[in-house]
């Protein structure tokens, strides 16, 4: 707690009773709530010290009261290593004398003459402006970065080659689709062999990411080869114009191999191998290195476009799945919420809440998310499911369309390796001929 907070607020029950008491509106928002992951690489004591330091520096120092609880690794046969801590902070700030301050202040809207504008209800038009920045996206981003910095400093202190980053994959420039949060319940079901929607989606995302990483890696390797060839080509531009093209190089090598083949089987294999290469190049009109480089650039652009589209679809699929799940939780747990509100006696109410805390937390989460989408609670679930099904089909189809690109890259690698080998052989033969001619001249 900050120094000016009343001592009685050290009692959690007293604190939250007064938080509720000071609010007049039955739907008033009481607290900010955060769930933050701890690090399995740290000991229990290290994690606890890190939490205290973080909350003191980032929350209490700003005058906020912090109520937090640390949850360690789940126990039991199917326990999941998921240490984390929960934080709740009253939204209403404290005045210097320890009394509750205002959450918002009025900022009246003025007309062109600088006068207040009546609203027709005996008052004036105004905007409600928060008295603190605690609820702003910028402050949340600051806290996310501060927690990442705390963890990374501890990793460095322990000499661990680990880092956490509060930024999304997109902001980090990582070509990867993020998985969705599964939660303890889903992980335990998966550990027991029960397939879940979230688990299935994450498996699909991981498989797609693996394909994307492989494609990106191959494109990068091939692109580096092409760039090296381009530099060399620029240095020998005049000679390159007069040099045999890729088709001619392959045909010459095929003729040489055929001349050295003793059996019809060997000649037939040579014909098949080289005709496949020639057909591939001719179909795509890849006659010189510049043609190959341009073709690879087009492929890279196509791959990047597909990846961007897949990311957009994945994001929308995740959003729809969450909305459908929130509606299910909202409808399923609403009777429990109403039963809680019907209890008048505080002790009985607290006992009921403690008994059903996890279910009620799920309900509050679902209600908060759904209120932002549909305040009237008219949820278009059939339309969401229809859109989700359509996206899943499209996502799967587009993922499958990546396979021909991979095959195309594989064939390009094979041809590029073959051509590089033949060019090296030609260069060696040319160097050998030069050495032989030099020796003859010296002899003469």
Token output for 56 = 């003191």
Mean pLDDT value across the chain: 83
- Burial label, 369 (beta-carbon count in 10 A; 0-12, 13-18, 19+): middle
As a whole number, mean pLDDT of residues 264-281 equals 78
Cα–Cα distance measured from residue 356 to residue 308, given in angstroms and rounded to the nearest whole number: 42
Evaluate if residue 443 carries a pLDDT over 60. no
Cα–Cα nearest to 178, from 80, 83, 82, 312: 312
As a whole number, mean pLDDT of residues 237-242 equals 51
DSSP 4: T
**214 or 261, greater pLDDT:** 214
As a whole number, mean pLDDT of residues 265-293 equals 78
Contacts of 126 (CB under 8 A, 6+ apart): 106, 107, 108, 109
Give me the phi and psi of 323, to 5 degrees please.
-60, -45
pLDDT at 74: 56
∠ Cα 389 363 76 (to 5°): 90
Which structural domains are found in the chain, ordered by start? 1-95+137-165 (3.30.930.30), 167-245+288-444 (no CATH)
Residue pLDDT, tens place only, 65-81:
999 888 876 544 445 57
pLDDT at 91: 87
441 falls in which pLDDT band (50, 70, 90)?
A: low
pLDDT at 218: 81
Evaluate if residue 117 carries a pLDDT over 90. no
Q: Lowest-pLDDT range, 187-196, 267-276, 363-372, 379-388? A: 267-276
**186 or 77, greater pLDDT:** 186
Q: Lowest-pLDDT range, 61-65, 96-100, 257-261? A: 257-261
pLDDT at 125: 85
Q: Lowest-pLDDT range, 179-188, 317-326, 354-363? A: 179-188
pTM of structure:
0.43
Cα–Cα distance measured from residue 88 to residue 83, given in angstroms and rounded to the nearest whole number: 17
As a whole number, mean pLDDT of residues 374-380 equals 90
Q: Lowest-pLDDT range, 158-172, 226-240, 353-367? A: 226-240
Q: Lowest-pLDDT range, 65-69, 219-223, 306-310? A: 219-223
Cα–Cα distance measured from residue 229 to residue 284, given in angstroms and rounded to the nearest whole number: 19
pLDDT at 80: 54
Cα distances (angstroms) measured from residue 246 to each of 57, 222, 223, 286, 299: 66, 17, 18, 8, 20
As a whole number, mean pLDDT of residues 176-201 equals 82
Evaluate if residue 318 carries a pLDDT over 70. yes
């Amino acid at each position: 707690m900050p120094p000016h907070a009343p001592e009685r607020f050290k009692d959690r029950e007293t604190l939250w009773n007064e938080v509720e008491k000071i609010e007049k509106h039955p739907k008033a928002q009481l607290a900010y709530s955060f769930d933050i992951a701890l690090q399995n690489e740290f000991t229990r004591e290290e994690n606890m010290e890190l939490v205290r330091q973080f909350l003191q520096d980032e929350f209490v120092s700003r005058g906020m009261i912090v109520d937090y609880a640390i949850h360690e690794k789940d126990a039991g046969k199917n326990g999941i290593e998921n240490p984390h801590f929960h934080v709740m902070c009253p939204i209403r700030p404290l005045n210097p004398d320890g009394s509750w301050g205002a959450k918002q202040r009025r900022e009246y809207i003025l007309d062109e003459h600088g006068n207040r504008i009546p609203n027709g209800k005996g008052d004036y038009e105004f905007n409600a402006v928060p008295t603190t920045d605690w609820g702003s996206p910028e402050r949340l981003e600051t806290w996310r970065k501060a927690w990442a910095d705390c963890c990374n400093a501890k990793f460095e202190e322990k000499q661990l080659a680990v880092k956490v980053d509060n930024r999304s994959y997109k902001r980090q420039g990582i070509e990867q689709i993020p998985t969705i949060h599964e939660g303890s319940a889903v992980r335990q079901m998966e550990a027991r062999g029960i397939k879940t929607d979230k688990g299935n989606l994450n498996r699909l995302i991981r498989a797609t990411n693996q394909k994307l990483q492989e494609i990106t890696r191959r494109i990068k390797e091939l692109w580096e080869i092409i760039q090296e060839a381009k530099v060399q080509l620029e240095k020998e531009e005049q000679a390159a114009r007069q040099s045999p093209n890729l088709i001619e190089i392959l045909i010459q090598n095929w003729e040489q191999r055929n001349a050295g083949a003793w059996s019809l089987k060997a000649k037939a294999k040579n014909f098949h191998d080289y005709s496949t290469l020639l057909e591939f190049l001719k179909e795509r009109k890849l006659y010189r290195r510049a043609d190959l480089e341009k073709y690879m650039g087009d492929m890279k652009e196509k791959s990047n476009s597909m990846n961007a589209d897949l990311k957009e679809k994945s994001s929308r699929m995740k959003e729809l799945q969450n909305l459908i799940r929130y509606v299910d939780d909202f409808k399923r747990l609403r009777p429990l919420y109403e039963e809680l509100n019907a209890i008048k006696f505080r002790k009985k109410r607290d006992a009921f809440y403690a008994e059903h805390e996890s279910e009620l937390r799920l309900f509050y989460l679902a209600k908060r998310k759904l209120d932002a989408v549909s305040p009237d609670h008219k949820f278009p679930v059939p339309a969401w499911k229809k859109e989700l099904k359509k996206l899943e089909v499209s996502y799967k189809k587009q993922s499958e369309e990546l396979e021909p690109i991979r095959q195309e890259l594989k064939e390009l690698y094979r041809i590029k390796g073959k051509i590089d080998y033949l060019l090296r052989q030609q260069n060696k033969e040319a160097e050998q001929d030069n050495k032989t001619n030099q020796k003859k001249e010296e002899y003469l």
